[in-house]
Structure 1
Amino acid sequence: MVSTVKRAYTNFRGVDFANDASLVDLARSPDALNIWKNYADTQGSCIETRPGYIKIGNFGNNINGIYFYNNQAFIHSGTNLYLWSNFPTFPEEKTLLKSDMNNIRSSFVIFDDKLYILDGKNYLVYYNGTLKKVSEDNPTIPTTTISRKPAGGGEKLDDVNVLQPLRKNTFVGDGSSKDYYLDAQNITNVTEVKVNNTIVTNYTVNPASGKVTFATAPVAPSLSGVDNVEITFKKVIDGYADRINKCTKIVAFDRRVFFTGNPNYPNAVFHSKINEPSYISDLAYYQDGTDESEIKAMVVGNNMLWVFKEPNQQNETIFYHTSTLEEEGKVYPSYQGNVSTGCYADAINYKDDIVFLSRNGLEGISSNDINSKQLLSHRSSLVDNKLINENNFNMAMMAEWNGYLLVLVNHKIYLADMRQMYQGTIGYEYEWYLWDLSDDKISYIKEYKGNLYIGSENGLIFYFHGTNDNGKTINSYWTTPMDAFGYGNLLKTTNKRGGLAKIKTIPNGVIKVAEITNKREDTKEINKYSATGFDFGNIDFENFSFETENNSYIVYKIKEKKFVEISLKFYSDELDKPFGLYSAILEAFVGGYVKK
């Protein structure tokens, strides 16, 4: 009696580029493109064609940054920074704010309702309709010494602000001294002098010695020991402002702003004073490891600031900072992690999973507190052999959207899905999908209010919506593994009445079915089926099918004899005709043994 075997492909998970097509789990695909799970629509119960994207702006040059602030968009394109005030409609109202930006990816943070932008050349702030350099936005003038006697001494108060060349010293006048010595020499000039809160001008300055000589000695204060002389002076120190201007990465943590990415200080993390992004002390920095390797990313997570460095000989690659209260206030000491794997591109906090891209793929790192040992777990085994071999992998960037982690590299997006996880060799791993956006050379991604915006190398900006890629067809497909039905040593013949698929009803939807066996190298198309339901807003009646269910079934007749393995392909390669698939069944008869 001839035995019958049936395969059910269901509960689809993601792609598997790691294993031979004959060894892939039945729920995964060895070759799928432009497919995802739309959890907002089907709760992840089916796979379907990804959304398309629509062009909404053209800015002429490579998109280096997209920022959103007070319902307006700021676009860093090439060396220009634009304000897109009528966002998200086509930018008829775009204002050039700055034309000498650095032509690299920039970074930004919103702090106290102000937008701060950092590009490795400029540290900028935008608010109340005006863009300025932070150093020109009246940054805090520190009072570096108080209770100083005319000849010197006093009490140190504030650190020097690297963004502000001005400083203040306050003195206790004695009624007889005319010479007042500042706490710095080789100053540039004195800008203001007050005695008893009144501006005076009857003085001369010796910049080299930092001495201010009054024509008449300032009077002593009415209350003994109270400062009554205030001198504001300027001392420019080469390279101070560039400590921050040349940084490329900025994050907010613990009511402070942290900076890194300065090539002159590759291992340094700088930070601002609490609640003052324009005040960065000349002592407010930490050195994470040696300067042999640069810092690639900073991520906030688990009440810590994680710092990821590129690989180096000392294996000093991961550091973390946490706030510690000391006598002089909060400090952020640097602790070296016990993980030696280096960061090759980017890092992100993906739903409280701290992940970074190493040369081997996506890594996850966890730690409950500062005293815990960090645990490293690989997250991308299923796509590594493609992901890490993409051109310019070191320029990959990541974002989170609709519950997915997106890794943009070489004009493609790899999507990791935390809602579908499996136990890997070491820890849990994500399921993955792959989208190809090469036609438009996509090089930048940004999520905002649930929408995904992408920028291209030639200055175009799109957002994901619709069923085509700005007028171009989305080629989407899902293939099943090369399946031997559990009998790798026996020949099979398909039951032509045993093919059935449950498909998603989609307006103008089309699904095509093809198959391939071990007997040939090319696929054979079986049939084309309509998947259209009742949505009259966008119906092509030539492709209309009167289905009343949210899903429907198609029957496909496959005629193949004496094969060992077979794979099905579900796809759409027509404009504005997506597909969705819940499950598929294929039945076959088992025959004799495979002969050499």
Structure 2
Amino acid sequence: MNAVQMESQSNREQTARYTAFCGVDMSSDPTKVQSARSPYAPNLISDSGGFPEKRVGWRTLLTIDAPINGLFLASIQKEGEPPKRLHLAHGGTKLYDITDVLHPKVLKEDIHNARSIGFSTCGKFWLLTGREYLVYDGESVKHVSEIATRPVTSIGRDPLGGGQVYDDVNLLSKYRENRFLADGSAKKYQLDTTDLDADAVEITVNGQSLAEGSGFTVDRKSGIVSFTTAPAQPQVAGEDNVFIRFSKTVAGAYEKIAHCTIAALYGSGGDGFVFLSGNPQYPAQDFHSALRDPSYFPDNGYSLIGSEATAVMGYARTGEYLLILKESDEENSTIFLRRCQMDSIGGTQSKTTFPLQAGAAGAGMIAPRAVGHMADEPLFLSQSGVYAVTSNQITAERTVENRSYFVDASLCAQKNLSSAVCTEWNGRFLIAVEGIVYVLDGRQAAVRPTDGQKVYECFYWTNIPAVCFLPQGEELFFGTQDGRICKFNTDILSMDRFNDDGAPIVASWSTKADDDGDFMTYKTLLRRGCGVMIKPYTRSGCTIRLRTEEDFGKDVRSVKTDIFSFDDFDFSRLVFAVNDGPQVIPFSARVRRYVTIQVIVENNAVNEGFGVFGIIRRYRKSKVLRR
């Protein structure tokens, strides 16, 4: 091939096409990004066909005390009545009922001002603030200790002691009951503990109530009750007939539960037990309640989860197991599997136990509010990205796999990653931190370029000041640090849904920094044959910008692409275009001697939709780079 032929081929018109878009790639160099992805595409999400379009905006519904520590859906049910679903918010030092956003109601004041966790079970709503354990029954909010189950710790007890240990001590209640079998002659009855509280002791003998000081006295130091007259034997032989109710406070018992900050429902039919952890005094332990009784936490109902050097950070469900997720630890397991099983303890009696199995080591959780599910995968945030807990179908061995490769470089660089919160919404997993939401699109699985491992297509949104989420079907609410409760505009069908509390949503799609397959050759962009195809909306438009290695971008065309519609009419933007098909926007700009070039399509207007179907660029190669 002679020089003339080479020059002829270098001057031939060539075409770069960008179509079949996926998501962003913020982890590769902008020159190495695949053509279907973008190194810069804020505030976009995939539409039903997989093409990027502008996300909906959000609006403030109401403002309460700051910060918003938690948003909750409470299910309250009284006996014989259908359940009521209420929206509750923990703002500052108050708990609110915000079901009617126009008339929020304060349910309780002077509660701990910190991130909280709540759950509904047994017809009530239960709230942990890190200092208190509260319960709401639809009428009043109380400390759980006020309504906590009072265990019967001994039965069949002789006046001098013995008998059978029955219920465990309840960490949430200072009250206990001992049941005795009177012999008709003994006047002194020894309780199963000493050093009682000063609270009045209550006694029932053969169904008759006695008041302290009238018929008996109490030596609280020794735990001995002395009757004036010996209680008679039971009317039914062998049946306990002396019931003694007393109180004994155990220092730190209530705080073991009240200072927890992580919760999960699990076991015996799905949600029979409450598991709690996150107490900074017991970072590697968790505690479980009695069956279907969140007001009763047995004093021996705790487990040490793996190494004491690493804290439990969260829970997730997978099949029959409850996953317990811990901090990162390169040497010890960071994931444990808990199973619920019934163990026989003799005869027809059985006891529920929760055996533990160590899982994978290495990647661990970094943010206690950043764990959840998408489809059938448990997902959690670690220092190096979002990971899924998976199972080898042959060996059943649990492993962890990264799912957020395409945004990890940005996500993992966030300074306050431990404050991240997450939620699953409309088939997507959202992680919010420092005003940015990183989106893993569960409807678009991809593979990691480096090894072919399954990952998700990703997007990222700016100007989302969420510190907690509450998904409700198609709707998504979030709370902010400054006390606002906000809602995404999914319920608004007009173009008014495209604003963030009145501010514009800046949405862009940028091609990669494309060297057109030859980084040693200068290229020239042609004036004709370049264009962008965008998605039709009744109000839309875009600015097209070109960026090369020599500059930070220059605008080459701005255009409005409205479609005439009486459903969304604006006289200030009067147009007569009625074609509701894709809009093609040609742009004319001659750019000489570039090595790499990016086409950036942007919409930054209030109440305008925006989406990109494709970009075409025509160019010619020219001279080879020289020193």
Normalized against structure 1, the TM-score is what? 0.93
- Cross-structure match for 1:249: 262
CA contact (8 A) 2:509 2:612 kept: no
- Cross-structure match for 2:180: 171
* Superposed displacement of residue 522, structure 1: 2.2
Can you list the C-alpha shifts for 1:504-548, whole angstroms capped at 9, x where unaligned? 111211122111123x21212121233322443333342635133
CA contact (8 A) 1:193 1:229 kept: yes
- Cross-structure match for 1:145: 154
Q: Does 1:532 align with 2:562?
A: yes
- Cross-structure match for 1:514: 545
* Superposed displacement of residue 565, structure 1: 1.9
Could you tell me which of 100, 103, 119 is aligned with 1:109?
119
Q: Distance in 2 between matches of 1:371 and 1:12?
A: 37
CA contact (8 A) 2:446 2:454 kept: yes
The one-letter amino acid of 1:289's match is G
- Cross-structure match for 1:236: 249
Could you tell me which of 415, 428, 435 is aligned with 2:461?
435
The one-letter amino acid of 1:308's match is L
**Residue aligned with 2:418, SS:** helix
CA contact (8 A) 1:256 1:272 kept: yes
**Residue aligned with 1:315, SS:** strand
**Residue aligned with 2:257, SS:** helix
* Superposed displacement of residue 152, structure 1: 1.3
The one-letter amino acid of 1:479's match is S
Q: Does 1:159 align with 2:185?
A: no
Q: Distance in 2 between matches of 1:22 and 1:543?
A: 41
Q: Distance in 2 between matches of 1:473 and 1:125?
A: 41
Q: Distance in 2 between matches of 1:287 and 1:561?
A: 67
The one-letter amino acid of 1:129's match is E
- Cross-structure match for 1:54: 59
**Residue aligned with 2:607, SS:** coil
| Structure 2 residue runs without a partner (length 5+) | 1-7, 75-83, 345-349, 490-496
Can you list the C-alpha shifts for 1:463-488, whole angstroms capped at 9, x where unaligned? 11111111111111110001122233
CA contact (8 A) 1:508 1:543 kept: no
The one-letter amino acid of 2:252's match is G
- Cross-structure match for 2:24: 15
Q: Does 1:223 align with 2:236?
A: yes
Can you list the C-alpha shifts for 1:328-371, whole angstroms capped at 9, x where unaligned? 41111222223222221132222221222221111222137998
CA contact (8 A) 2:556 2:587 kept: yes
Return 23-32 or 198-207, whichever deviates more.
Answer: 198-207
The one-letter amino acid of 1:23's match is K
CA contact (8 A) 2:56 2:499 kept: yes
- Cross-structure match for 2:35: 26
* Superposed displacement of residue 445, structure 1: 2.5
**Residue aligned with 1:8, SS:** strand
CA contact (8 A) 1:123 1:134 kept: yes
Q: Distance in 2 between matches of 1:34 and 1:351?
A: 23
Could you tell me which of 224, 230, 239 is aligned with 1:211?
224
Q: Distance in 1 between matches of 2:611 and 2:452?
A: 33
- Cross-structure match for 1:309: 326
- Cross-structure match for 1:100: 110
- Cross-structure match for 1:294: 311
Could you tell me which of 351, 354, 371 is aligned with 1:347?
371
**Residue aligned with 2:567, SS:** helix
The one-letter amino acid of 1:46's match is F
* Superposed displacement of residue 314, structure 1: 4.7
Could you tell me which of 458, 470, 492 is aligned with 2:501?
470
Could you tell me which of 327, 336, 358 is aligned with 1:336?
358
CA contact (8 A) 1:190 1:205 kept: no
**Residue aligned with 1:384, SS:** helix
**Residue aligned with 1:241, SS:** helix
**Residue aligned with 2:194, SS:** coil
CA contact (8 A) 2:46 2:53 kept: yes
**Residue aligned with 2:470, SS:** strand
Summarize the Cα distance change of 1:322–1:370 in structure 2 as closer, same or farther, 3 Å threshold: farther
- Cross-structure match for 1:64: 69
Q: Distance in 1 between matches of 2:577 and 2:585?
A: 14
Return 96-105 or 530-539, whichever deviates more.
Answer: 530-539
* Superposed displacement of residue 34, structure 1: 1.1
* Superposed displacement of residue 119, structure 1: 0.9
The one-letter amino acid of 1:512's match is T
* Superposed displacement of residue 326, structure 1: 1.1
C-alpha RMSD over aligned residues: 2.1
Summarize the Cα distance change of 1:75–1:317 in structure 2 as closer, same or farther, 3 Å threshold: same
Q: Distance in 2 between matches of 1:315 and 1:483?
A: 45
Return 448-457 or 307-316, whichever deviates more.
Answer: 307-316
- Cross-structure match for 2:479: 455
> 1:250-269 counterparts in 2 under 5 A?
250-254=263-267, 255-269=272-286
Q: Distance in 1 between matches of 2:547 and 2:452?
A: 35
How high is the sequence identity, in percent, across the aligned residues? 30
Residues matched between the structures, number: 584
- Cross-structure match for 1:322: 339
Could you tell me which of 293, 303, 314 is aligned with 1:276?
293
* Superposed displacement of residue 120, structure 1: 0.4
**Residue aligned with 1:447, SS:** strand
Q: Distance in 2 between matches of 1:186 and 1:523?
A: 78
Q: Distance in 2 between matches of 1:4 and 1:147?
A: 98
Can you list the C-alpha shifts for 1:82-105, whole angstroms capped at 9, x where unaligned? 222413xxx3x2222222222221
Return 93-102 or 225-234, whichever deviates more.
Answer: 93-102
CA contact (8 A) 2:371 2:381 kept: yes
Q: Does 1:587 align with 2:625?
A: no
| Structure 1 residue runs without a partner (length 5+) | none
The one-letter amino acid of 1:506's match is Y
CA contact (8 A) 1:302 1:369 kept: no
CA contact (8 A) 2:525 2:590 kept: yes
* Superposed displacement of residue 72, structure 1: 3.1
Can you list the C-alpha shifts for 1:103-162, whole angstroms capped at 9, x where unaligned? 22110111133111111011111122221111112x211111111111111111111111
* Superposed displacement of residue 305, structure 1: 1.5
CA contact (8 A) 2:65 2:93 kept: no
CA contact (8 A) 1:530 1:545 kept: no
Can you list the C-alpha shifts for 1:369-402, whole angstroms capped at 9, x where unaligned? 9983212211222222211111211111111112
* Superposed displacement of residue 592, structure 1: 4.0
- Cross-structure match for 2:532: 501
* Superposed displacement of residue 191, structure 1: 2.9
Summarize the Cα distance change of 1:344–1:325 in structure 2 as closer, same or farther, 3 Å threshold: same
Normalized against structure 2, the TM-score is what? 0.89
